[in-house]
Amino acid sequence: MTTTEVEVLKKAILDLHRCESSWLESVPVTETFESKVVWTGEVQVFELHGHPTASRCYAWSSAIEGSPRRKFYAVLHVPPVDSPIAAVRASIVGDHKSKK
């Protein structure tokens, strides 16, 4: 994870959740469903400063199919999200529901 990538994710967290953050670590995640990989990548873990309900946030970006742009995810560490894998699962469910 480069400094530039961390800064881009910190800006996404600021834009989405209105608080500053500090990078803590990078966690590799592979999510499978019915024995098929549905997402693989690294989730960045950030400590939040001044958020009213969460002390951590899980952030990453993914390419948008057919576009040079990326979609940014910044999922708060609030129940039921308690880990990077839970954040990825929540985002997959959210993306699926928004397509319906």
Contacts of 58 (CB under 8 A, 6+ apart): 43, 44, 45, 46, 73, 74, 75, 77, 81, 83, 84, 87, 88
Query: pLDDT 10s digit of each residue in the chain, 100 long?
Result: 788 999 999 999 999 999 999 999 999 999 998 999 999 999 999 999 999 999 999 999 998 889 999 999 999 999 999 999 999 999 998 887 777 6
Contacts of 43 (CB under 8 A, 6+ apart): 26, 27, 29, 58, 59, 60, 84, 87, 88
